[in-house]
Amino acid sequence: MLFSRICKRFFVITFSLVICFSFFACRETPLDDPIDEENLPALRDYVIEPGHQSIQTWTDTTAANLTSNIKIGWNLGNTFDAHNSNDNINTPVLTLETRWVNHRTTEENISTIKNAGFNAIRIPVTWFKVLDENYIIREDWIARVTEVVNWAEANDMYIILNTHHDERIFKFTNSSVNNSLIVFKRVWSQIAVQFRNYNEKLIFEALNEPRTIGSSYEWQGGEYSEQRNLNRHYQVFVDTVRASGGNNDKRILMVNTYGASAEQNAMNGLVIPVDPVPNKIIVSIHAYTPFLYAHEYPGDNAWSHNRSQITSIMTLAYNTYVRNGFPVIIGEFGARREKDGPIRDAWAEFYVDEARKRNIPCIVWDDGGRFRLLLRTTNTFDSDTYLDAMMRGAGVR
């Protein structure tokens, strides 16, 4: 999540006015034409270095057990998910990675996060910008993503790898869903093959905040037809990963509500996909709550009078999913740096602790900007008291 939702809509409107200079900057229109799937070339069925060439030792676990072992996580935000209208199939990997945060991720960044108490990392990745005309991912891009995944693995972290900001190729309207499913399958086929040999601590997250940008139900959980089409993507996701070999026949998978919304409508609309392996599905929601305090500036300067907004969404997630055997992860949360101080510290501890009471781990959003936690150039933290508050809430300190 990069901007406030108001800014997101402004970006979309502005972006649509920009003249496209590269093939993929203009990809949205051709995607509405029928894709001849039968004539698309075969995808690679080999692992690109530095991916694991042999199957790693697997400790079998359920989604619930794995989730219970995640204390608290951190998002490598605005990094591999960065993009703009000038990106194309030939844009250098370093340019793509540093487009929004002017820093190349280092192994020390990941070690710093682990040593601070985070035992999970979410790595958001945007893929549309590195696809050729046949929806094949650039090898140098997936190799760089793999390098960072390997650093997290070396730190014995739980790793969540997803598709992020790919609304230009993954669509949920009735007119676009058939093409979207073809592209979605091809993208996830390649990701799954690349990481098929990794152990149980690598989790695949199907999407991010799946939605139709600018629609009237964008942040209210979607309307029925789009919820149905989103659920079709999740079944393709499960089927594709399970068929990709290695350890993927039993890997833990994560699906999102529409828009990753914590609204009742979004939770009601999510149908857990059929999985041949039981107890391997996690549900993800995002919640910057209370919204006017945590997400907006100037917004509200206090939150304690809105404690019920926090507890109600967590209780709803617990009652809808956790108590019915489907664990939940809050994949994004956080409060802006402008709110730094004792009030934000108290919010962070309360938020994470309330989630922990319901067996829901949280993954803080760090975009290197308004939600920055780690100063990546120095491997120091913006606010030690904010960090400590989250760790207390998570039971780490």
3-state SS track over the chain? CCCCHHHHHHHHHHHHCCCCCCCHHHCHHHHCCCCCHHHCCCCCCCCCCCCCCCCCCCCCCCHHHHHHCCCCEEECCCCCCCCCCCCCCCCCHHHHHCCCCCCCCCHHHHHHHHHCCCCEEEECCCCHHHECCCCCECHHHHHHHHHHHHHHHHCCCEEEEECCCCCCCCCCCCCCHHHHHHHHHHHHHHHHHHCCCCCCCEEEECCCCCCCCCCCCCCCCCCHHHHHHHHHHHHHHHHHHHCCCHHHHCCCEEEECHHHCCCHHHHHHCCCCCCCCCCCEEEEEECCCCHHHHCCCCCCCCCHHHHHHHHHHHHHHHHHCHHHCCCEEEEEECCCHHHCCHHHHHHHHHHHHHHHHCCCCEEECCCCCCCCCEECCCCEECCHHHHHHHHHHHCCC
CATH topology of domain 5-394: TIM Barrel (3.20.20)
Q: Which residues contact 16 (CB under 8 A, 6 or more apart)?
A: none
Percentage of residues of the chain with pLDDT beyond 70: 92
pLDDT above 50: residue 126: yes
Q: Sign of the C-alpha dihedral, residues 30, 32, 38, 43? A: positive
C-alpha 236/C-alpha 37 separation (Å) is 15
Predicted confidence band at 85 (pLDDT cuts at 50, 70, 90)? Answer: confident
C-alpha 110/C-alpha 131 separation (Å) is 27
C-alpha 114/C-alpha 395 separation (Å) is 15
In sequence order, the β-bridge partners of residue 204 are: 161, 253
- pLDDT on residue 3: 38
pLDDT above 70: residue 30: no
C-alpha 60/C-alpha 327 separation (Å) is 16
User: What does the pLDDT average to over 59-88?
Assistant: 96
Instruction: For residue 332, indicate whether it is catalytic.
Output: yes
- pLDDT on residue 86: 86
Q: Model confidence over 147-204: pLDDT tens digits?
A: 999 999 999 999 999 999 999 999 999 999 999 999 999 999 999 999 999 999 999 9
As a whole number, the mean pLDDT across the chain is 93
Least confident piece of the model among 29-33, 51-55, 205-209: 29-33
- pLDDT on residue 169: 97
C-alpha 27/C-alpha 34 separation (Å) is 13
- pLDDT on residue 102: 93
pLDDT above 80: residue 141: yes
Query: Strand 328-333 to strand 202-205: parallel, antiparallel, or no bridges (unpaired)?
Result: unpaired
Burial class (CB in 10 A: 0-12, 13-18, 19+), 20: middle
pLDDT above 70: residue 389: yes
C-alpha 130/C-alpha 70 separation (Å) is 31
Annotated catalytic residue, options 167, 209, 226, 263? 209
pLDDT above 50: residue 10: no
- pLDDT on residue 4: 38
pLDDT above 60: residue 139: yes
Domain range list for the chain: 5-394
For residues 318 and 358, is the Cβ–Cβ distance under 8 A? yes
Q: Which residues of 279-301 are buried (b: 16+ CB within 10 A; e: fewer)?
A: ebbbbbbbbbbbbbbbbbeebee
Distances (CA, A) of 53 to 2, 117, 193: 35, 30, 11
- pLDDT on residue 32: 65
Q: Model confidence over 33-50: pLDDT tens digits?
A: 899 999 999 999 999 999
